[in-house]
Structure 1
Amino acid sequence: MSETQSKSSVKAKIQKFGTFLSGMIMPNIGAIIAWGFMTAIFMSPNGWFPNKYINSFTSSMLYFMIPILIAYTGGKSVYEERGGVVGAISVVGTIVLAFPWAKPVAQGIVYPSLYPYGANHSTGIPMFLGAMIMGPLSAWCLKKFDQAFQSKVKAGFEMIYNNFSQGIMGMIFVALSYFLVGPILVVSTIWIANGVDWIIAHNLLPLANLVIEPAKVLFLNNAIGNGVLVPLGIQQAAKIGKSVLFLMESNPGPGLGILLACALFGKGSAKSSAPGAIIVHFLGGVHEIYFPYVLMKPILILAAMAGGITGTFLFSVLGGGLTAAASPGSIIAILLVSAKDAYFGNIVGVLGSAAVSFVVAAVIYKMDKSSDGDLAAAQGQMAAMKAESKGLAEEENGASAVETVESYKDVQRIIFACDAGMGSSAMGASLLRDKVKKAGLNLPVTNTAVRNLKDEPGLLVITQEELAERAKEKTPNALHVSVGNFLSTPKYDQVVARLKAAGETAPEAEQVKKSEKQEKKAGSLAGIDFAKVKEVDFIRHDQHIGTVTMASSLFKDEMQKAGKQTPVKAVRINELDNDPSHLVIATAMAGKNLAIRYDQIHVVTVDDLLKAGEVSGLIDKLK
């Protein structure tokens, strides 16, 4: 394995683990937001409308409902419903151990020297860490138990085995979580919380953005936000009614500043697409949309880091904070879950971080005299043109266009997969769904998280390049397309064109073969309406510039000798108009690729472009 492959594999494993953690939180964000709303509105005495009766059951949501939901989700991700149920049972042991009225019992179980709270301490610990450990762990053990014994169960006894094995395993793990795992988790959670409090008290929290911002650009944003910061933020919000930790990853300010600077001082397609990206990022909360701008010019990560540090600093000193997770990280979501006394700090923090990242990014753009931005866009277009002109699919597939079209023939469903399964993938799915509908194709286009992908027949998976490796691990038999940006890529048109071409050729493969034989027998001019032809074209591409130029020149000479007036040109494949006035002379491989993109032009295939004038009857039929 090469060093590059090794780094890619390590990165994929880190992303996979981070996604696994966030995968337990993300499906339950709605429950966390519900608790946050109730805390913000009814919490005594700092809520908008304090109500001790309603506030009394928010603690039950915090200590019981949310941890059980997280444990169930974690167990289900390991072993479906059976794992989810066992996970929910097992976490109750840690919940009870950490609940306020259990403190005297907990103090007797946990080593007294490590337990910082006295027996009369009234504040419990929301056992999110226990849920994220016990849920998957107990589900994994049940899965291994079933693998060892389920196949040995006699016919007719399956239900007895399934129910009792699940119940017994749940009983064992709820006891283990109370007497063995729980005490360790209680101490660990307290230490972590105290560590966070110490960092905040010493004004060191902004330095965390030195890690958070680069990690976000590497598509670890959901792992950091939902896997780490949200559980810690909930614990802090339970004590003081709000937490700045909710804002550290979801703050849209750094990305807003970078996009504004790109819109004013950027170059090429990046500059022209930035204004639209600003709306999607700041209002829609899809942070992934600004990642490609940073990846295209990596030094911009300094702007993101400067903005992130500024924002966290302002949130901390001005009393900012949210009552629950802001998901997605939109300014609208942030305002909705802001604490009553935190609106000023939150707004100033977001705008301040945007201003600082804008200034740094603007300086970078102004000092950079290279044309890398335009060059990157041109190289991307050139790579696509090379793949098309050579009849190749994306280079990572290594398949020819013919093979790609054949594989598209079996596509029954299209899934967009991103890290969280929402936001950018949902918008990408919406864009492609519209294109598929306009092309007259009846194919479902949906979106999901990479972790939820299942290897199904007839599946086309579209994902970001950074997540492609993980997507292929989950669905090795699917057709894969990776893109740099869900919201701006030419690959959607290629996908639709190939689906359309495959749909036209797939139902009657035998008839196609028969017609090809007939065409070969009758000559390659069969079916061409020469009365409509107003231009003869040779397709120019980088690998055969000399050949195409020479071939078009030779053919033009033959036309002049025959007294024909139809112009002959050497053009690029994307310069053609899709109408029957064009007659294209191409090799068989290029002809297949033309069929993917154009359905109205006439194509004459030849074995040798330099001998196109020798095709019997071709010049005679032209004007």
Structure 2
Amino acid sequence: MQNVNAITTKGGSLRVKLQRLGGFLAGMVIPNIGAFIAWGLITAFFIPTGWVPNEHLAKLVGPMIMYLLPILIGYTGGKLVYDVRGGVVGAVATAGVAIGSSVPMFIGAMIMGPLGGYVIKKFDEAVEGKVPAGFEMLVNNFSAGILGGILAILAFLFVEPVMNAISLGLGAAAQWVTDKGLLPLIALFIEPGKVLFLNNAINHGILAPLGVAQVKEFGKSIFFLLETNPGPGLGVLLAYWLFGTPSPGSIFAEIAMAPKGGLLPVLAGIAVGALVSFLIASPIVKRASEESMSAESMSFARSIVSGLKAQSKGEKVEMPKAEVKMDTLPKLIVFACDAGMGSSAMGETILRKKLKEAGFDIQVKHSAVNQIPKEADVVFTQENLAERAAQVVPHAKIVTVKNFLDNTVYDEFVKSLRK
């Protein structure tokens, strides 16, 4: 565990900026995953090539993917920028790109939603303190309606044709790659995107619309399985299982998405990806683990030698410990990961239990790193997200952890609170 006391909050590296962008895009999609699952289940069961074909229920598939999901994303994007008011204008603006399009407008929603939120936010800032008393509700409603309507018209006339052309162009390119047997090369773009937290934007903004177009024609599509393929991750996890600490994968979700009669090919693809990534990751992880152990051992040995030398001179020695020094007890502790729904929630549960057992009444929450509450006193996050966390809550103590499931980190933190 490492306490980050000073992190540059101005500017930030290009990596951090890309991560922030990817985190924002993910923040538009992840809260709506339940809606995607609902659409996926209805599609898997009731389309003509589904498990239990039903012509009447299959009518839900098109409107949900063409209108419901993009507008939900647009609403969420606007809400991220300017709360509910921004969400409403973002949803109206998104309708302009969704209606009339021949493909699902997820990319358009990721543009128009935040834009709608930004426009209404700037309008409210411009008229703040200038609205006569009693006219606030009237101005609020009409401004949102007028600006939302204008954005929807502009999106329908200008943005939608451009986004539609881009989506069709991407579809043609993807089809060419598939026809040429070069599909595995797409991983060269997908896997680096995951490192920069752009995987949700790639999956739901590009691959999902391409997959939907193929589903309409063929009843299934491999594009749904490219970014979500747990094979490469599984191979790396196997390497960590042998030489480090693993985390859970998503193989069950992949199995659930397998088309009727296509389970074996999907599992074969996962196995191949797992084998390749395992063979590549193993020597890297093993070497990193050995170097890490060696560095920790050397550091520990140096501290012992230094301590013995100091003791021989009659000096008082305190061995360094991995703890966070607090002048007062924190009121709010936040666990932050990129999406705020997975590992951070598990870390929150572990620490809350330990604090309760130790007799501390401290509030613990989990959050996406871009949405850490301003009143947070302590933030637990991963090393590669520490700079972003410090930019959001510069006054908070940022504690970096390598693994949210590491109980020793929380034991040390509780001990530091007792002191």
Q: Which TM-score tier does this pair reach, normalised by the shorter chain?
A: 0.7 to 0.9
Compute the displacement of 1:13 (Å). 0.4
What secondary structure, in the 3-state scheme, does the structure 1 residue paired with 2:103 have? coil
Q: Please give the residue correspondences for 1:465-544 in structure 2 after superposition, counting only pairs within 5 Å.
A: 465-488=383-406, 490-501=408-419
Compute the displacement of 1:192 (Å). 1.9
2:333 equivalent in structure 1: 414
What secondary structure, in the 3-state scheme, does the structure 2 residue paired with 1:151 have? coil
Measured at CA, do residues 75 and 414 of structure 1 come closer, stay the same or move farther in structure 2, by a change above 3 Å?
same
Compute the displacement of 1:259 (Å). 3.2
8 Å Cα contact 1:425-1:486 kept in structure 2 = yes
Match of 1:59 among 62, 65, 70: 62
Percent of residue pairs bearing the same amino acid type: 45
Q: Please give the residue correspondences for 1:184-583 in structure 2 after superposition, counting only pairs within 5 Å.
A: 184-217=162-195, 219-226=197-204, 228-264=206-242, 266=243, 270=244, 274=245, 277=246, 280-281=247-248, 285=249, 330-362=250-282, 371-378=290-297, 389=318, 404-406=325-327, 409-456=328-375, 458-488=376-406, 490-501=408-419
| Coordinate RMSD, CA, aligned | 3.1
Does 1:11 pair with 2:30?
Answer: no
1:161 equivalent in structure 2: 139
Q: Which moved more, 1:375-384 or 1:424-433?
A: 375-384
Cα offsets for 1:34-81 (capped at 9, x unmatched): 10111110001x111100000012111111111110110011111111
Q: Distance in 2 between matches of 1:51 and 1:89?
A: 32
Q: Distance in 2 between matches of 1:247 and 1:65?
A: 22
Q: Distance in 2 between matches of 1:383 and 1:438?
A: 36
Does 1:94 pair with 2:72?
Answer: no
Q: How many residues align?
A: 401
Q: Please give the residue correspondences for 1:45-84 in structure 2 after superposition, counting only pairs within 5 Å.
A: 46-84=49-87
Q: Distance in 2 between matches of 1:228 and 1:383?
A: 52
8 Å Cα contact 1:414-1:461 kept in structure 2 = yes
In the superposition, the TM-score normalised over structure 2's length comes to: 0.86
Structure 1 unaligned blocks of 5 or more: 99-123, 286-329, 395-400, 502-623
Cα offsets for 1:558-605 (capped at 9, x unmatched): xxxxxxxxxxxxxxxxxxxxxxxxxxxxxxxxxxxxxxxxxxxxxxxx
Q: Distance in 1 between matches of 2:394 and 2:276?
A: 44
Compute the displacement of 1:222 (Å). 4.4
8 Å Cα contact 1:22-1:227 kept in structure 2 = no
Cα offsets for 1:515-560 (capped at 9, x unmatched): xxxxxxxxxxxxxxxxxxxxxxxxxxxxxxxxxxxxxxxxxxxxxx
What secondary structure, in the 3-state scheme, does the structure 2 residue paired with 1:24 have? helix
8 Å Cα contact 1:26-1:226 kept in structure 2 = no
Compute the displacement of 1:380 (Å). 8.0
1:24 equivalent in structure 2: 28
What secondary structure, in the 3-state scheme, does the structure 1 residue paired with 2:99 have? helix
Q: Distance in 2 between matches of 1:196 and 1:392?
A: 53
Q: Distance in 1 between matches of 2:148 and 2:170?
A: 28
Structure 2 unaligned blocks of 5 or more: 1-7, 307-316
In the superposition, the TM-score normalised over structure 1's length comes to: 0.59
Q: Distance in 1 between matches of 2:15 and 2:400?
A: 17
Q: Distance in 1 between matches of 2:136 and 2:290?
A: 67
Cα offsets for 1:447-493 (capped at 9, x unmatched): 1211222311x532111111111111112222221112222374322
What secondary structure, in the 3-state scheme, does the structure 2 residue paired with 1:152 have? coil
Q: Distance in 1 between matches of 2:28 and 2:93?
A: 15
Compute the displacement of 1:214 (Å). 4.0
What secondary structure, in the 3-state scheme, does the structure 2 residue paired with 1:347 have? helix
Compute the displacement of 1:363 (Å). 5.5
8 Å Cα contact 2:346-2:405 kept in structure 1 = yes
Cα offsets for 1:238-275 (capped at 9, x unmatched): 544333333333322223223334444x3xxx2xxx4x
8 Å Cα contact 1:22-1:226 kept in structure 2 = no
8 Å Cα contact 2:105-2:209 kept in structure 1 = no
Higher radius of gyration, 1 or 2: 1
What secondary structure, in the 3-state scheme, does the structure 1 residue paired with 2:362 have? coil
Compute the displacement of 1:371 (Å). 3.6
